[in-house]
Amino acid sequence: MPFTHEAVFYNGLFPMLAAKNSAIKEIAPTCYHAYSDGEEGGLNPGCWERTCAVGGRKEKGVIVLEDLKQVADRAFHTIDKSEVPTIDHVMLVMRAAGRYHGAMWQLLHSTEEAFKDAPVSKEEVEQFYGGAVPKSAIKKSVKKLFKELAELMSNKDLDEEFIEKVRKYKAGRAADLMLDKSSPIATIVHGDLWTNNMMFSGDADGNPEEVRLLDFQAGRIAHPALDLAYFLYCNTDAVFRKAHLDRCLREYFGVFGLYLTGLEGFGFEEFKREWDKYLEAGMIMGMLVRNELTFLRLHYIPSKNNSSLDCENSAQSRLSGRRPSQWQVSEEEQGGRESG
């Protein structure tokens, strides 16, 4: 795994952000030490290619973080990633994502003077986080994903026309949107925002109060909707999104929008239009990175020759012994936009 991104975040960006805004300290755990030999050659596109690209060399590094399970009076814990989080959990994530994206947006729009005493320069941040997987590599991965999805769907009782659309999906569109940095609100995204990379604390009654984000190894400059779609479509289901999606987006932008200083005329309606544009790419990014969720959801759709799937024979039931709720696919998702 690329230690370089994590080391750059904890040694360079996070201290800068926290010094300007104390609320940013509550986004991630305290880091006591972060090292990667990937930093030794300087932060530049070559560094990204050496250490973070697919097929790059293996790094040597170490990251030492505070033990969130031992925090006094408010110990943090993970939640079951096979279950849909509560609305209270999701609201915490929306606010944390808003602060993270907003602080990163302000960092990217800071002057060189703001980096005067920083361990990294503005140019280094832009070059390092501006690096990207080649479009051809993304297209290849997306085509492979949709080919496998179509093959799996072919033995399920699904609409043949829809399966054919999946098979012929134009991968170039998703790749373009994943790599697009042209939006005025493009920022440094987390890149792997799902419940496995979060820890929550709660009150005596179990109500969630705080969240910490983990694993900053996939950060890059992109549209923030990619993170939101990744999280909401990996960790919630159609029922949740139908009831709460608008509220989630408004909660997020209520925080993120506070950081967009100097960006006139960009309100929630403008953000919502861009969300609609980038949603598809964010969903597919989640499918690429967390494709075990995608394929296991499809396994729970009854096949043409079997109206009731034997869960005991599935890989997931052997692992967890139950049928995860967010892997149930509604009729709407089978035939509509939510299936990608």
Looking at residues 172-190, what average pLDDT do you find?
95
> Could you tell me if residue 197 is inside a domain?
yes
Cα separation values, 130 from 197, 264, 326, Å: 23, 25, 33
Q: In the chain, what is the greatest distance between 2 CA atoms, to the nearest angstrom?
A: 67
Identify the helix (H) or strand (E) that includes residue 45: helix 45-51
- For residue 260, being part of any structural domain is answered with yes
Nearest CA to 76 among 85, 88, 67, 84? 67
Does residue 316 or residue 64 have the better pLDDT? 64
pTM of the model: 0.82
Asked whether residue 77 is assigned to any structural domain, the reply reads no
Is 321's pLDDT higher than 70? no
Residue 74 counted as domain residue: no
Domain with 41 in it: 3-67+95-335
Query: What pLDDT score does 287 carry?
Result: 84
Question: What pLDDT sits at residue 60?
Answer: 82
C-alpha–C-alpha distance, residues 58 and 304, integer Å: 45
Share of the chain above pLDDT 70, in %: 79
Instruction: Give the confidence band of 51 by pLDDT, cuts at 50, 70, 90.
Output: very low
Residue 104: pLDDT band (50, 70, 90) is very high
Average pLDDT over residues 233-241: 91
Please tell me the total count of domains within the chain: 1
3-class state of residue 71 by DSSP: coil
Residue 26 belongs to a domain: yes
Asked whether residue 323 is domain-assigned, the answer is yes
117: in domain: yes
Average pLDDT over residues 165-169: 88
**pLDDT over 60 (residue 242):** yes
- Is 116 inside any structural domain? yes
Contacts by residues 207-211 (CB-CB < 8 Å, ≥ 24 positions apart)? 207/88, 208/86, 208/88, 208/89, 208/92, 209/74, 209/92, 210/26, 210/74, 210/76, 210/92, 211/89, 211/92, 211/93, 211/96
| Residue 157: per-residue pLDDT | 72
Task: Taking residues 79-83, report their average pLDDT.
Answer: 89
User: What single letter denotes the amino acid at residue 335?
Assistant: G
Give every CB contact of residue 35 below 8 A, 6+ residues apart in sequence. 3, 7, 61, 62, 63
